[in-house]
């Protein structure tokens, strides 16, 4: 797991970093906490599943999404960790990572819009270089659009 987390550049940002002080999200404190808790729990539960491909990882994330049904903030945190994991895996050409990333991007977008959250607001919930991550997500979005 350490190898995967180090390769993926995934770690969690603690609340001591001032996440709640950022005025970039529209969630109240309990829902923001539920979102960040879901990121942390999904990381602890699922990241070790990403051995040689993303299938086991995405199965774990999907199971957590089902358990969070009816809790949009938790679902968003879970799906966002899924997206970040798959985007990070795509950087090292892990099997099925592009498909995994596109699937979670669609889920994250569907969940974040009603909550009025941007990718910029979500990015600090997972440690790493947000500028690079946001660029990777934007590139994924461009590559996912149908060609005319």
The answer to the question of residue 22 being in a domain is: no
The H or E element that residue 11 is part of is strand 11-12
Q: How many domains does the chain have?
A: 1
| Residues 59-96: tens digit of each pLDDT | 999 999 999 999 999 999 999 999 999 999 998 888 88
What's the pLDDT score for residue 46?
A: 96
- Region 95-107: mean pLDDT is 94
The answer to the question of residue 20 being in a domain is: no
The answer to the question of residue 36 being in a domain is: yes
The answer to the question of residue 53 being in a domain is: yes
What's the pLDDT score for residue 21?
A: 38
SS percent in the chain: helix, strand, coil, step 5: 70, 5, 25
What's the pLDDT score for residue 116?
A: 93
Q: pLDDT-based confidence at 3, cuts 50/70/90? A: very low
What's the pLDDT score for residue 117?
A: 95
The answer to the question of residue 21 being in a domain is: no
What's the pLDDT score for residue 146?
A: 63
**Cα 127 from Cα 141, distance rounded (Å):** 21
> Which of 78, 82, 83 lies closest to 136 in space, CA to CA?
83
- Region 96-118: mean pLDDT is 95
> Which of 116, 106, 110 lies closest to 137 in space, CA to CA?
106
Give the range of the structural domain holding residue 85, as residue numbers without chain letter. Answer: 2-10+27-144
| Residues 10-61: tens digit of each pLDDT | 444 433 333 433 445 678 999 999 999 999 999 999 999 987 779 999 999 9
Neighbouring-strand partners of residue 54: none
The answer to the question of residue 40 being in a domain is: yes
The answer to the question of residue 31 being in a domain is: yes
The answer to the question of residue 86 being in a domain is: yes
| Residues 113-123: tens digit of each pLDDT | 999 999 999 99
Cβ atoms of 77 and 42 within 8 Å: the answer is yes
**Cα 76 from Cα 34, distance rounded (Å):** 10
> Which tops the pLDDT comparison, 146 or 98?
98
**Cα 37 from Cα 135, distance rounded (Å):** 25
């Amino acid at each position: 797991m350490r190898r995967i987390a180090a390769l993926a550049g995934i770690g969690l940002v603690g609340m001591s970093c001032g996440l709640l002080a950022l005025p970039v999200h529209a969630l109240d404190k309990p829902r923001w906490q539920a979102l960040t808790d879901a990121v942390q729990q999904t990381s602890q539960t699922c990241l070790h599943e990403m051995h040689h491909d993303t299938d086991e990882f995405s199965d774990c994330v999907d199971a957590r999404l089902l358990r969070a049904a009816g809790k949009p903030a938790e679902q968003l945190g879970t799906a966002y960790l899924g997206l970040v994991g798959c985007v990070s895996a795509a950087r090292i050409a892990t099997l099925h990572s592009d498909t995994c990333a596109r699937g979670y991007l669609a889920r994250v977008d569907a969940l974040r819009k009603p909550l009025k959250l941007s990718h910029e607001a979500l990015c600090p919930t997972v440690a790493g270089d947000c500028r690079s991550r946001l660029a990777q997500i934007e590139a994924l979005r461009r590559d996912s659009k149908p060609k005319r």
